[in-house]
């Protein structure tokens, strides 16, 4: 998993509330178990018409937001079913940070496991970030995980809270497999002892 420390990038404004995981990646795209290739279908039903043509006024189809790495979202982002394909699709598109007033618990946890940072801030601060994001590609925000701040293009900074363990995992690029491998010596020692104690197993 890629390390996350500081990101300066384009922020896309998406003020809709209760964006659920089916809106993020519709059910017909859940057949794959690969994390790559889902970005093209991110927000598919809002992004394309029935003929597969882009809907011009959808935020991520606008030229200034096609390379957005930060999403400023409405309340209760990622609600609905627990599909891990939702953070996969966001990450594959290029989104590394999502800012909202609240997230569904399972989606929130899945973000960290996939190298993304979900940031929870009060409504008033999200409103400031939303207005900044609406300025377009020239308004780049900075998200600093080490110092736990989000800074607007005008230099206004907001602090956020993040669990220390999750923060470490992102800073060091550790997913569940990496965390397990940190215990490789202890696992090998246990296996050797178990083999001696129960050679018939």
Would you place residue 179 in the very low, low, confident or very high pLDDT band (cuts 50, 70, 90)? Answer: low
Q: Report pLDDT digits (tens) over 127-144.
A: 999 999 999 988 899 999
Q: Tell me which DSSP letter residue 62 carries.
A: S
Spatial distance between the Cα atoms of 185 and 198, rounded to a whole number of angstroms: 20
pLDDT at 177 (0 to 100): 66
pLDDT at 147: 98
In this prediction, residues 49-62 reach a mean pLDDT of 96
| Statement: residue 183 has pLDDT above 70 | no
Q: Is 108 among the domain residues? A: yes
- For residue 83, the model assigns a pLDDT of 87
CATH number at residue 131: 3.20.19.10
How many domains does one find in the chain? 1
Per-residue pLDDT reduced to its tens digit, 135-172: 998 889 999 999 999 999 999 999 999 999 999 999 99
Within a domain: residue 1? no
Range of the domain at 181: 6-197
**How confident is the model over 97-112, as pLDDT tens digits?**
999 999 999 999 999 9
- Residue 68 Cα distances to 9, 27, 39, 185, angstroms: 7, 24, 12, 41
């Amino acid at each position: 998993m890629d390390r996350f420390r500081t990101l300066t990038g384009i922020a896309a404004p998406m003020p809709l509330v209760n964006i659920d995981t089916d809106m993020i990646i519709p059910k017909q795209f859940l057949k794959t178990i690969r994390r790559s290739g889902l970005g093209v279908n991110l927000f598919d039903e809002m992004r394309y018409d029935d003929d597969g043509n882009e809907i011009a006024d959808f935020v991520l189809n606008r030229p200034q937001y096609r390379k957005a790495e930060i999403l400023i979202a409405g309340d209760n982002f990622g609600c609905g079913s627990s599909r891990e394909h939702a953070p996969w699709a966001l990450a594959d598109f290029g989104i590394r940070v999502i800012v909202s007033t609240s997230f569904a618990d399972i989606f929130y946890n899945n973000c960290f496991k996939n190298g993304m940072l979900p940031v929870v801030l009060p409504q008033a601060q999200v409103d400031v970030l939303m207005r900044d994001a609406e300025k377009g590609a020239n308004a780049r925000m900075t998200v600093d995980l080490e110092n736990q701040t989000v800074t607007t293009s005008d230099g206004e900074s907001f602090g956020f809270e993040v669990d220390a363990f999750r923060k470490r995992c992102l800073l060091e690029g550790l997913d569940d497999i990496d965390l397990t491998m940190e215990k490789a010596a202890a696992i090998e020692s246990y296996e050797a002892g178990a083999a001696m104690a129960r050679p018939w197993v």
